[in-house]
Amino acid sequence: MMSVTARSGLLAQYLSASSQVVATQLRPTVCLAAPLSSKITLAPRKENLTTESLKQLVPKCGNVRVSSGPHGPMQVRYAHTDIQYPDFSDYRRQPVSDPKTSSEPSSVSRRAFTYAMVGASGVVGAYAAKNIVQELLSTMSASADVLALAKVEVDLKTIAEGKSICVKWRGKPLFVRHRTGDEIETEKGVDVESLRHKEHDDERVKRPEWLILIGVCTHLGCVPIAHAGEYGGYFCPCHGSHYDTSGRIRKGPAPENLEVPEYTFSDDTTVVVG
Amino acid sequence: MFLRTVYNTIFRRSSAFALSILVGAVFFERAFDQGGTALFESMNKGKLWKDIKDDFEKNDNGGGDDDE
Protein backbone atom coordinates (compact mmCIF):
# COMPACT_ATOMS: atom_id res chain seq x y z
CA MET A 1 0.00 0.00 0.00
CA MET A 2 2.69 2.36 0.96
CA SER A 3 4.64 1.70 -2.14
CA VAL A 4 1.69 2.97 -4.17
CA THR A 5 0.94 6.08 -2.19
CA ALA A 6 4.51 7.17 -1.81
CA ARG A 7 4.71 7.76 -5.51
CA SER A 8 1.66 9.99 -5.76
CA GLY A 9 3.26 13.45 -5.66
CA LEU A 10 1.11 15.98 -3.85
CA LEU A 11 -0.46 13.57 -1.44
CA ALA A 12 2.85 12.32 -0.26
CA GLN A 13 2.81 14.34 2.96
CA TYR A 14 -0.50 12.97 4.17
CA LEU A 15 0.27 9.57 3.04
CA SER A 16 3.62 9.58 4.68
CA ALA A 17 1.80 10.41 7.88
CA SER A 18 -0.53 7.50 7.36
CA SER A 19 2.40 5.33 6.58
CA GLN A 20 3.72 6.06 10.01
CA VAL A 21 0.46 4.92 11.47
CA VAL A 22 0.75 1.78 9.56
CA ALA A 23 4.29 1.36 10.56
CA THR A 24 3.53 1.76 14.24
CA GLN A 25 0.52 -0.48 14.10
CA LEU A 26 2.50 -3.39 15.16
CA ARG A 27 0.32 -5.87 16.76
CA PRO A 28 2.52 -6.57 19.70
CA THR A 29 2.49 -2.96 20.88
CA VAL A 30 -1.24 -2.52 20.33
CA CYS A 31 -1.94 -5.75 21.99
CA LEU A 32 0.25 -4.88 24.87
CA ALA A 33 -1.50 -1.59 25.41
CA ALA A 34 -5.13 -2.44 24.86
CA PRO A 35 -6.41 -5.87 25.88
CA LEU A 36 -4.09 -6.66 28.70
CA SER A 37 -4.91 -4.76 31.83
CA SER A 38 -2.79 -6.79 34.13
CA LYS A 39 0.91 -6.65 34.21
CA ILE A 40 2.72 -8.94 31.87
CA THR A 41 4.61 -11.56 33.60
CA LEU A 42 7.25 -13.36 31.70
CA ALA A 43 8.06 -16.89 32.39
CA PRO A 44 11.36 -17.41 34.10
CA ARG A 45 14.13 -17.71 31.67
CA LYS A 46 15.25 -21.16 30.98
CA GLU A 47 18.75 -22.23 30.78
CA ASN A 48 18.72 -23.75 27.34
CA LEU A 49 17.51 -21.50 24.56
CA THR A 50 15.29 -23.74 22.58
CA THR A 51 12.67 -22.65 20.11
CA GLU A 52 10.02 -23.20 22.67
CA SER A 53 11.71 -21.26 25.39
CA LEU A 54 12.34 -18.35 23.09
CA LYS A 55 8.74 -18.39 21.98
CA GLN A 56 7.60 -17.85 25.50
CA LEU A 57 9.44 -14.56 25.61
CA VAL A 58 7.28 -13.22 22.86
CA PRO A 59 4.07 -11.54 24.02
CA LYS A 60 1.15 -13.87 23.41
CA CYS A 61 -1.54 -12.03 21.56
CA GLY A 62 -2.20 -13.77 18.32
CA ASN A 63 0.00 -13.68 15.33
CA VAL A 64 3.02 -11.54 15.41
CA ARG A 65 3.89 -9.98 12.16
CA VAL A 66 6.38 -7.25 11.72
CA SER A 67 6.01 -5.10 8.69
CA SER A 68 8.06 -2.09 7.87
CA GLY A 69 9.32 -0.17 4.97
CA PRO A 70 7.49 0.79 1.80
CA HIS A 71 7.22 -2.72 0.44
CA GLY A 72 5.43 -4.47 3.21
CA PRO A 73 6.77 -7.61 4.81
CA MET A 74 10.43 -8.09 4.39
CA GLN A 75 12.40 -11.20 4.35
CA VAL A 76 15.86 -11.63 5.57
CA ARG A 77 17.97 -13.91 3.52
CA TYR A 78 20.81 -15.58 5.17
CA ALA A 79 23.79 -16.14 2.98
CA HIS A 80 24.76 -19.72 2.85
CA THR A 81 28.36 -20.27 2.30
CA ASP A 82 28.14 -24.00 2.14
CA ILE A 83 26.32 -24.28 -1.24
CA GLN A 84 28.14 -26.44 -3.71
CA TYR A 85 28.25 -24.75 -7.07
CA PRO A 86 28.00 -27.12 -10.03
CA ASP A 87 31.06 -27.67 -12.13
CA PHE A 88 30.48 -26.32 -15.63
CA SER A 89 33.93 -27.02 -16.93
CA ASP A 90 32.59 -29.83 -19.14
CA TYR A 91 30.37 -27.30 -20.91
CA ARG A 92 32.88 -24.54 -21.28
CA ARG A 93 35.02 -24.13 -24.34
CA GLN A 94 38.69 -24.57 -23.90
CA PRO A 95 39.67 -20.84 -24.07
CA VAL A 96 37.22 -19.96 -21.29
CA SER A 97 37.66 -23.01 -19.13
CA ASP A 98 39.42 -20.89 -16.54
CA PRO A 99 36.82 -18.50 -15.11
CA LYS A 100 39.50 -16.11 -13.91
CA THR A 101 40.87 -15.26 -17.34
CA SER A 102 39.26 -12.74 -19.68
CA SER A 103 37.01 -14.12 -22.38
CA GLU A 104 37.57 -11.17 -24.68
CA PRO A 105 40.68 -12.32 -26.56
CA SER A 106 39.04 -15.60 -27.58
CA SER A 107 35.62 -14.15 -28.40
CA VAL A 108 36.20 -13.81 -32.14
CA SER A 109 37.38 -17.36 -32.58
CA ARG A 110 34.51 -18.71 -30.51
CA ARG A 111 32.00 -16.66 -32.51
CA ALA A 112 33.63 -17.80 -35.75
CA PHE A 113 33.17 -21.41 -34.69
CA THR A 114 29.53 -20.84 -33.80
CA TYR A 115 28.82 -19.09 -37.09
CA ALA A 116 30.64 -21.83 -38.98
CA MET A 117 28.33 -24.40 -37.40
CA VAL A 118 25.29 -22.28 -38.30
CA GLY A 119 26.60 -21.80 -41.82
CA ALA A 120 27.28 -25.51 -42.29
CA SER A 121 23.76 -26.41 -41.24
CA GLY A 122 22.53 -23.67 -43.56
CA VAL A 123 24.41 -25.23 -46.45
CA VAL A 124 22.91 -28.64 -45.75
CA GLY A 125 19.49 -27.08 -45.27
CA ALA A 126 19.72 -25.21 -48.57
CA TYR A 127 20.70 -28.41 -50.34
CA ALA A 128 17.83 -30.34 -48.77
CA ALA A 129 15.31 -27.59 -49.49
CA LYS A 130 16.43 -27.33 -53.10
CA ASN A 131 16.05 -31.08 -53.60
CA ILE A 132 12.66 -31.22 -51.92
CA VAL A 133 11.34 -28.44 -54.12
CA GLN A 134 12.87 -29.99 -57.21
CA GLU A 135 11.39 -33.41 -56.49
CA LEU A 136 8.02 -31.86 -55.74
CA LEU A 137 8.00 -29.98 -59.01
CA SER A 138 9.18 -32.99 -60.98
CA THR A 139 6.07 -34.88 -59.86
CA MET A 140 4.03 -32.31 -61.78
CA SER A 141 5.88 -32.76 -65.05
CA ALA A 142 5.14 -35.48 -67.57
CA SER A 143 6.61 -38.89 -66.86
CA ALA A 144 9.43 -40.31 -68.94
CA ASP A 145 7.26 -42.67 -71.00
CA VAL A 146 4.94 -39.84 -71.94
CA LEU A 147 7.87 -37.65 -72.90
CA ALA A 148 9.31 -40.46 -75.02
CA LEU A 149 6.06 -40.72 -76.97
CA ALA A 150 5.91 -36.97 -77.42
CA LYS A 151 8.60 -37.08 -80.10
CA VAL A 152 8.43 -38.51 -83.56
CA GLU A 153 11.32 -39.23 -85.88
CA VAL A 154 10.84 -38.89 -89.62
CA ASP A 155 13.23 -40.39 -92.11
CA LEU A 156 13.65 -37.80 -94.86
CA LYS A 157 15.33 -40.18 -97.33
CA THR A 158 11.99 -41.69 -98.27
CA ILE A 159 10.41 -38.38 -99.27
CA ALA A 160 11.15 -37.46 -102.85
CA GLU A 161 11.36 -33.85 -103.93
CA GLY A 162 7.92 -32.34 -104.39
CA LYS A 163 6.27 -35.00 -102.25
CA SER A 164 4.50 -34.54 -98.97
CA ILE A 165 3.82 -37.13 -96.28
CA CYS A 166 1.59 -37.14 -93.25
CA VAL A 167 2.53 -38.77 -89.96
CA LYS A 168 0.70 -38.87 -86.65
CA TRP A 169 2.24 -36.82 -83.87
CA ARG A 170 0.58 -36.27 -80.48
CA GLY A 171 -2.72 -37.29 -82.01
CA LYS A 172 -2.51 -34.75 -84.79
CA PRO A 173 -1.47 -35.04 -88.43
CA LEU A 174 2.00 -33.76 -89.17
CA PHE A 175 2.91 -32.70 -92.67
CA VAL A 176 6.49 -33.11 -93.89
CA ARG A 177 7.01 -31.71 -97.33
CA HIS A 178 10.06 -31.78 -99.56
CA ARG A 179 9.75 -28.54 -101.46
CA THR A 180 11.06 -28.01 -104.93
CA GLY A 181 13.36 -25.18 -105.85
CA ASP A 182 10.56 -23.34 -107.63
CA GLU A 183 8.33 -23.50 -104.58
CA ILE A 184 11.08 -22.19 -102.33
CA GLU A 185 11.80 -19.33 -104.71
CA THR A 186 8.13 -18.43 -105.00
CA GLU A 187 7.57 -18.39 -101.23
CA LYS A 188 10.66 -16.36 -100.54
CA GLY A 189 9.49 -13.76 -103.05
CA VAL A 190 6.06 -13.22 -101.51
CA ASP A 191 5.46 -9.74 -100.16
CA VAL A 192 4.95 -10.21 -96.43
CA GLU A 193 2.79 -7.11 -96.12
CA SER A 194 0.23 -8.59 -98.49
CA LEU A 195 -0.36 -11.57 -96.20
CA ARG A 196 -3.10 -11.96 -93.61
CA HIS A 197 -0.74 -13.49 -91.05
CA LYS A 198 2.54 -11.74 -91.74
CA GLU A 199 5.34 -14.28 -91.58
CA HIS A 200 8.28 -14.57 -93.94
CA ASP A 201 9.14 -17.99 -95.28
CA ASP A 202 12.48 -17.90 -93.43
CA GLU A 203 10.65 -17.74 -90.11
CA ARG A 204 8.74 -20.90 -90.91
CA VAL A 205 11.47 -23.28 -92.05
CA LYS A 206 14.88 -24.23 -90.72
CA ARG A 207 16.03 -25.74 -94.00
CA PRO A 208 14.26 -24.30 -97.03
CA GLU A 209 13.67 -27.67 -98.72
CA TRP A 210 11.89 -29.14 -95.71
CA LEU A 211 8.53 -27.74 -94.64
CA ILE A 212 7.14 -29.21 -91.45
CA LEU A 213 3.62 -28.26 -90.35
CA ILE A 214 0.87 -29.38 -88.04
CA GLY A 215 -1.93 -30.43 -90.41
CA VAL A 216 -4.80 -28.76 -88.61
CA CYS A 217 -6.62 -25.92 -90.33
CA THR A 218 -6.56 -22.83 -88.14
CA HIS A 219 -10.17 -22.13 -89.04
CA LEU A 220 -12.14 -24.97 -87.50
CA GLY A 221 -9.61 -27.78 -87.26
CA CYS A 222 -10.10 -29.83 -90.42
CA VAL A 223 -7.15 -31.59 -92.03
CA PRO A 224 -6.11 -29.78 -95.23
CA ILE A 225 -5.28 -31.63 -98.41
CA ALA A 226 -1.72 -31.39 -99.73
CA HIS A 227 -0.90 -30.26 -103.27
CA ALA A 228 -4.27 -28.65 -103.69
CA GLY A 229 -5.77 -25.19 -103.81
CA GLU A 230 -4.94 -22.10 -105.77
CA TYR A 231 -1.44 -21.73 -104.34
CA GLY A 232 -0.35 -25.33 -104.71
CA GLY A 233 0.20 -25.84 -101.03
CA TYR A 234 -2.69 -27.02 -98.90
CA PHE A 235 -6.41 -26.71 -99.31
CA CYS A 236 -8.94 -27.19 -96.55
CA PRO A 237 -12.02 -28.91 -97.94
CA CYS A 238 -14.34 -27.86 -95.12
CA HIS A 239 -14.58 -24.13 -95.77
CA GLY A 240 -12.14 -23.55 -98.60
CA SER A 241 -9.02 -22.12 -97.01
CA HIS A 242 -6.06 -21.96 -99.37
CA TYR A 243 -2.54 -22.28 -97.97
CA ASP A 244 0.63 -21.76 -99.97
CA THR A 245 3.67 -24.02 -100.02
CA SER A 246 4.94 -22.35 -96.85
CA GLY A 247 1.67 -23.22 -95.05
CA ARG A 248 0.57 -19.58 -94.93
CA ILE A 249 -3.07 -18.65 -95.28
CA ARG A 250 -3.70 -16.89 -98.58
CA LYS A 251 -7.40 -17.19 -99.23
CA GLY A 252 -10.46 -18.32 -97.31
CA PRO A 253 -11.73 -18.01 -93.75
CA ALA A 254 -8.75 -19.29 -91.74
CA PRO A 255 -7.23 -16.52 -89.61
CA GLU A 256 -3.66 -17.78 -89.21
CA ASN A 257 -0.96 -19.76 -90.93
CA LEU A 258 -0.59 -23.48 -90.31
CA GLU A 259 1.34 -24.04 -87.11
CA VAL A 260 5.01 -24.98 -87.26
CA PRO A 261 6.01 -27.37 -84.43
CA GLU A 262 9.33 -27.48 -82.62
CA TYR A 263 11.71 -29.69 -84.55
CA THR A 264 15.39 -30.37 -84.97
CA PHE A 265 17.42 -32.11 -87.63
CA SER A 266 19.30 -34.82 -85.78
CA ASP A 267 21.30 -35.51 -88.93
CA ASP A 268 21.00 -34.76 -92.64
CA THR A 269 18.30 -37.34 -93.26
CA THR A 270 16.38 -37.40 -90.00
CA VAL A 271 14.14 -34.83 -88.37
CA VAL A 272 12.91 -35.13 -84.79
CA VAL A 273 9.64 -33.35 -84.08
CA GLY A 274 8.76 -32.52 -80.50
CA MET B 1 44.79 -15.50 -37.18
CA PHE B 2 42.80 -17.70 -39.49
CA LEU B 3 39.50 -17.66 -37.62
CA ARG B 4 39.62 -13.91 -37.23
CA THR B 5 40.07 -13.46 -40.97
CA VAL B 6 37.21 -15.83 -41.69
CA TYR B 7 35.02 -14.04 -39.17
CA ASN B 8 35.73 -10.61 -40.57
CA THR B 9 35.27 -11.58 -44.21
CA ILE B 10 32.33 -13.98 -44.09
CA PHE B 11 30.43 -13.94 -40.82
CA ARG B 12 30.48 -10.28 -39.96
CA ARG B 13 27.96 -9.15 -42.55
CA SER B 14 24.71 -11.05 -42.98
CA SER B 15 24.79 -10.54 -46.73
CA ALA B 16 28.22 -12.13 -47.02
CA PHE B 17 27.11 -14.91 -44.68
CA ALA B 18 24.01 -15.73 -46.75
CA LEU B 19 25.97 -15.53 -49.99
CA SER B 20 28.64 -17.86 -48.66
CA ILE B 21 25.93 -20.33 -47.60
CA LEU B 22 24.48 -20.33 -51.12
CA VAL B 23 27.86 -20.70 -52.77
CA GLY B 24 28.75 -23.41 -50.29
CA ALA B 25 25.50 -25.21 -51.07
CA VAL B 26 26.43 -25.36 -54.77
CA PHE B 27 29.74 -27.04 -54.05
CA PHE B 28 28.26 -29.19 -51.30
CA GLU B 29 25.58 -30.45 -53.66
CA ARG B 30 28.13 -31.49 -56.22
CA ALA B 31 30.38 -33.17 -53.71
CA PHE B 32 27.50 -34.89 -51.90
CA ASP B 33 25.87 -36.18 -55.07
CA GLN B 34 29.09 -37.44 -56.56
CA GLY B 35 30.09 -39.01 -53.27
CA GLY B 36 26.73 -40.73 -53.00
CA THR B 37 26.97 -42.03 -56.55
CA ALA B 38 30.49 -43.29 -55.97
CA LEU B 39 29.38 -45.05 -52.80
CA PHE B 40 26.43 -46.65 -54.58
CA GLU B 41 28.59 -47.86 -57.44
CA SER B 42 31.24 -49.26 -55.16
CA MET B 43 28.59 -51.14 -53.14
CA ASN B 44 26.98 -52.52 -56.31
CA LYS B 45 30.12 -53.29 -58.17
CA GLY B 46 29.62 -56.06 -60.70
CA LYS B 47 25.86 -55.58 -60.96
CA LEU B 48 25.74 -52.36 -62.92
CA TRP B 49 25.28 -52.05 -66.64
CA LYS B 50 28.67 -50.47 -67.17
CA ASP B 51 30.28 -53.49 -65.53
CA ILE B 52 28.49 -56.10 -67.64
CA LYS B 53 28.25 -54.01 -70.79
CA ASP B 54 31.22 -55.63 -72.51
CA ASP B 55 29.72 -59.13 -72.33
CA PHE B 56 26.60 -58.07 -74.19
CA GLU B 57 28.04 -55.64 -76.68
CA LYS B 58 30.32 -58.29 -78.21
CA ASN B 59 27.23 -60.35 -79.06
CA ASP B 60 25.29 -57.27 -80.08
CA ASN B 61 27.82 -56.17 -82.66
CA GLY B 62 27.49 -59.45 -84.54
CA GLY B 63 23.71 -59.30 -84.45
CA GLY B 64 23.68 -55.70 -85.55
CA ASP B 65 25.78 -56.46 -88.59
CA ASP B 66 23.42 -59.24 -89.60
CA ASP B 67 20.42 -56.96 -89.37
CA GLU B 68 21.94 -54.39 -91.64
Q: How far is A185 from chain B (nearest CA, A)?
A: 39
Task: Give the alpha-carbon dihedral of A241, A247, A250, A251, to 10 degrees.
Answer: 0
Instruction: From chain A, pick out residues whose CB is under 8 angstroms from the CB of B23.
Output: none
User: Is A239 one of the catalytic residues?
Assistant: yes
How far is residue A174 CA from its own chain's centroid? 44
User: CB of A252 within 8 A of CB of A133?
Assistant: no
User: CB of A183 within 8 A of CB of A232?
Assistant: yes
CA distance B6 to A114: 12
The interface predicted TM-score (ipTM) is 0.79
CA distance A123 to A129: 10
- Of the candidates B3, B6, B22, the beta carbon closest to that of A126 is on B22
Q: What is the pLDDT of residue A70?
A: 62
Instruction: From chain A, pick out residues whose CB is under 8 angstroms from the CB of B11.
Output: 111-112, 115-116, 119
CA angle A263, A178, A257 (to 5 degrees): 60
Q: What is the pLDDT of residue A149?
A: 79
A227 conformational bin, left if phi > 0, alpha if psi -120 to 50, beta if neither: left
Q: How many CB pairs under 8 A join A and B?
A: 46
CB contact under 8 A, A115 and B17: yes
Instruction: From chain B, pick out residues whose CB is under 8 angstroms from the CB of A120.
Output: 24
How far is residue A133 CA from its own chain's centroid? 10
> Which residues of chain A fall short of a pLDDT of 70?
1-37, 44-48, 59-78
CB contact under 8 A, A109 and B17: no
pTM of structure? 0.45
Q: What is the pLDDT of residue A120?
A: 95
Q: What is the pLDDT of residue A69?
A: 60
Interfacial B residues in 15-54 facing A (CB < 8 Å): 17, 20-22, 24-25, 28-29, 32
- Of the candidates A112, A115, A123, the beta carbon closest to that of B25 is on A123
User: CB of A244 within 8 A of CB of A252?
Assistant: no
Instruction: From chain B, pick out residues whose CB is under 8 angstroms from the CB of A134.
Output: none
Average pLDDT over residues B22-33: 96
Q: What does A169-216 look like in DSSP terms, one character per residue?
A: ETTEEEEEEE--HHHHHHHHTS-GGGSSS---HHHH-SBTTEEEEE--
Q: Is a pLDDT exceeding 90 seen at residue B33?
A: yes
Q: What is the pLDDT of residue A88?
A: 85
